Structure 1
């Protein structure tokens, strides 16, 4: 009876919810400053300078790629960057289910979240010493920072169904993403002011600020999130038990027709979302006619615009979903993404790109917040939230790998980056069809299977209590 009191007293607790939301404020600076805005530009510029110095020229030739020697293999700087990120996503896809099973069986979800938070933060700080002459060490920092960010989110997201009722999930998820957009935007402005008022060499201090901001503000979250909410005992053999638990959860997951359909649709439409977000800067740098200066400052302005409207979009879609439901709202958002990708094929001027960025911002915030909360709402009554969210995470990461590969492959086949953008519409189209086919309620067979497993878990707990 005591365990039930502990478990339910946390749901709806505003102190805990605010603590959970604050991790979005803490970690989103990595996603903006390092993944999207400052580091990609820094990386492109510093590797280009190193390459030109090596070949003894001041400018690149038309259509010339910046080549990097990486462990004796010559690769273009953009290909190397995308390959390292793809490798990190693949490793996260392997690690997250295994670690989630262990976290669920041992009750150490918060400890895992802390470990990956610190791994990502310290790896971000180590980018201060990024040097193209020792590119292997620099790319290791990017690799580990990515693993830290994405793996910490698995355990972070898994807390949502434990701290709030399903009817609160949309609003809380939207508040989290909005906090993330505003927090990351604030640090980006600070970093830009430091670079513009000081010197370009100050760019490296941005990466230090990201790490300090991330793990510093995360302490607010770690103090408030509960540890071992279900009072699990950590005994020997928990790794084996964790794997067994994951297999058991996966068997249950296979019976949930609605959850399966939704996750499959999420895999496809989120592949489109993440590919657009990761490759937007590359597209803008190559395809938009910025004029003299290359448009770096204008790109940052566009990214800030996306952040501002992303926060507004998260709240807007949360409000709409409260009126017409999550699935219908997601359907409209995915259609919006399709139209934006088709429009992107034709745009050329900076003004057109600003309007495109505004549209992306609105649908980006909405689709991210609603995707997370919808999955959380569809979960069965369970104590294995980390294991369930690891499936969500695997779908997201494998989708990113597929999207990046497909994007590059289409450019390679057609020689046209705009064709790559247009081809992403296919992922949204498949996701849209699958969203339409998601059942509004769980099947009778699925409900029966879930009830059977919960009864089995209850018997196992009673047996453990008798042994003790």
Structure 2
């Protein structure tokens, strides 16, 4: 068989400080897309474009008019969550194949460059998202979000080659922390533009559009650092024989079949997909909730999300330090309890009150980074050697703003009730179910079943 003809190549998890710095900085580069585009500006901006397409004023809730998308009539307020959901549905088919190709390619840096620059180009293309072009915005976001996910699959597959079991929590947490600094730095520049938009002669829509474009430029420019410092290694699972795409599909088939041999890895993955759907939906739709339900202006919303980014740096490093004491598994479980508290508070926040929203943002920042960074390092311990890219392809389906069940539930809840509060509280199900599922995973036994050595503390 083409996909299995060559035996896996064992690569010791050693790396230079320079290479690790390069790896950290891809998170710095791509976090601008997560923060500026997905979390802050695109949701409200695309919703405003959709409202214009429906013939509604920007301050109109627009609960009676619909827009046409592929022959379906939907409310303008549901366009962005549905677009996020569709993009992730498509990544279900794309990302595992990308991971399989990465495992069989000795040119992972080039794969990283391909997906990063395609995503950045699609983001920059949103310069033309004006008037009533909501279909253009949805299409460009689909391309950018899928390319983003594909690039992160390749990026994550470097982690087991850069750090051993005892180092991985710290390396993963530092990468996430630097990512939040990168996303926060660009957002800070965009906040200045929001605060001084009148002096600059720009409308709120113009600032949003230019901020979205700036994220694409940032993504492209800073991707050059990891491309210079990361080094290609022999293919983790042996080089492909024949066309890489065909071999990738074949290997995906083999990977899906082999999952039954690692039921505990699969169970962890399912638990992660559930609770991370909730996390990613909160990240992606927080700005929509703030503007549409809480009636907060960009002057409040954007600085609050900026604060979240910098607090997330301390949250990620702090939870990384906590994981050294009590273990990554217990720390992630604790973070899920805190997420349920966050949603409960969000549900009862009063409209038009900035201070409670800012305080809630502080809580999100402290819990956000650690739950994601430690989940990544935990999953890396559960992957059989030589299959890092394939398994991270499955993992990335619900990572960093690419969840789909959460936005779908959010959109359906809003469509049924016309209430963003009902929509946000419906996400509690993801955190409760995810907590119970993760609690049921015997982590030490799962790591050993995958053929890996467990860290001392879990």
Q: If the length of structure 1 is used for normalisation, what is the TM-score? A: 0.85
Q: What is the deviation of 1:63?
A: 5.6
Between stretches 425-434 and 232-241, larger displacement belongs to 232-241
For the residue of structure 2 that corresponds to 1:379, the secondary structure is coil
Residues 194 and 202 in structure 1, CA contact (< 8 A), matched pair in contact too: yes
Aligned-residue Cα RMSD (Å) equals 2.8
Structure ranking higher in helix proportion: 1
Is it true that 1:254 corresponds to 2:247 in the alignment? Answer: no
Q: What whole-Å deviation, never above 9, does each CA across 1:312-337 have from its counterpart, x for those lacking one?
A: 11011101110001111111110111
Separation in structure 1 between the aligned mates of residue 401 and residue 183 of structure 2, nearest angstrom: 25
Equivalent residue runs for 1:136-285 within 5 Å: 136-195=135-194, 196=196, 197-198=199-200, 199-200=202-203, 201-230=206-235, 232-285=238-291
Q: What is the deviation of 1:388?
A: 1.2
Residues 1:327 and 1:183: Cα distance change in structure 2 (over 3 Å) = same
Residues 1:239 and 1:296: Cα distance change in structure 2 (over 3 Å) = closer
For the residue of structure 2 that corresponds to 1:132, the secondary structure is coil
How many residues get paired?
Answer: 437
Q: What whole-Å deviation, never above 9, does each CA across 1:141-200 have from its counterpart, x for those lacking one?
A: 121111111111111111101111121111111111111111111111222323524123
Aligned to 1:98: 97
For the residue of structure 2 that corresponds to 1:400, the secondary structure is coil
Aligned to 1:41: 44
Aligned to 1:17: 20
| Residue in structure 1 matching 2:343, options 329, 341, 344 | 341
Q: What is the deviation of 1:418?
A: 1.8
Residues 268 and 399 in structure 1, CA contact (< 8 A), matched pair in contact too: no
Residues 117 and 220 in structure 2, CA contact (< 8 A), matched pair in contact too: yes
Residues 337 and 363 in structure 1, CA contact (< 8 A), matched pair in contact too: yes
Q: What is the deviation of 1:49?
A: 4.9
Q: What is the deviation of 1:355?
A: 1.4
Aligned to 1:330: 332
Residues 1:328 and 1:298: Cα distance change in structure 2 (over 3 Å) = same
For the residue of structure 2 that corresponds to 1:166, the secondary structure is coil
Q: Which ranges of structure 1 fall in alignment gaps of 5 or more residues?
A: 452-468
Aligned to 1:353: 357
Is it true that 1:387 corresponds to 2:390 in the alignment? Answer: yes
Residues 1:234 and 1:5: Cα distance change in structure 2 (over 3 Å) = closer
Separation in structure 2 between the aligned mates of residue 59 and residue 42 of structure 1, nearest angstrom: 10
Is it true that 1:403 corresponds to 2:402 in the alignment? Answer: no
Residues 1:39 and 1:395: Cα distance change in structure 2 (over 3 Å) = closer
Larger RCO (CA under 8 A, 6+ residues apart):
2
Separation in structure 2 between the aligned mates of residue 141 and residue 307 of structure 1, nearest angstrom: 25
For the residue of structure 1 that corresponds to 2:443, the secondary structure is coil
Separation in structure 2 between the aligned mates of residue 313 and residue 423 of structure 1, nearest angstrom: 25
Aligned to 2:367: 363
Aligned to 2:300: 298
Residues 1:233 and 1:426: Cα distance change in structure 2 (over 3 Å) = closer
Q: What whole-Å deviation, never above 9, does each CA across 1:218-268 have from its counterpart, x for those lacking one?
A: 111011222243485454244443333333333443222432222121111
Separation in structure 1 between the aligned mates of residue 59 and residue 210 of structure 2, nearest angstrom: 28
Separation in structure 2 between the aligned mates of residue 308 and residue 419 of structure 1, nearest angstrom: 29
Q: What whole-Å deviation, never above 9, does each CA across 1:362-410 have from its counterpart, x for those lacking one?
A: 1111111111111112223x12210011121235499821111112223
Aligned to 1:308: 310
Residues 1:104 and 1:305: Cα distance change in structure 2 (over 3 Å) = same
Q: What is the deviation of 1:71?
A: 5.0
For the residue of structure 2 that corresponds to 1:227, the secondary structure is coil
Q: What whole-Å deviation, never above 9, does each CA across 1:111-158 have from its counterpart, x for those lacking one?
A: 222111011100111111112344333322121111111111111111
Q: What is the deviation of 1:45?
A: 3.7
Residues 1:442 and 1:395: Cα distance change in structure 2 (over 3 Å) = farther
Q: What is the deviation of 1:205?
A: 3.0
Separation in structure 1 between the aligned mates of residue 89 and residue 109 of structure 2, nearest angstrom: 23
Aligned to 1:427: 430
Residues 1:12 and 1:167: Cα distance change in structure 2 (over 3 Å) = farther
Residues 407 and 424 in structure 1, CA contact (< 8 A), matched pair in contact too: yes
Q: Which ranges of structure 2 fall in alignment gaps of 5 or more residues?
A: 1-6, 453-458
Q: What whole-Å deviation, never above 9, does each CA across 1:283-336 have from its counterpart, x for those lacking one?
A: 222332x5xxx4221011211121111111101110111000111111111011
Separation in structure 1 between the aligned mates of residue 98 and residue 9 of structure 2, nearest angstrom: 27
Separation in structure 1 between the aligned mates of residue 404 and residue 349 of structure 2, nearest angstrom: 26
Q: What is the deviation of 1:98?
A: 1.7
Between stretches 295-304 and 229-238, larger displacement belongs to 229-238
Separation in structure 1 between the aligned mates of residue 397 and residue 152 of structure 2, nearest angstrom: 12
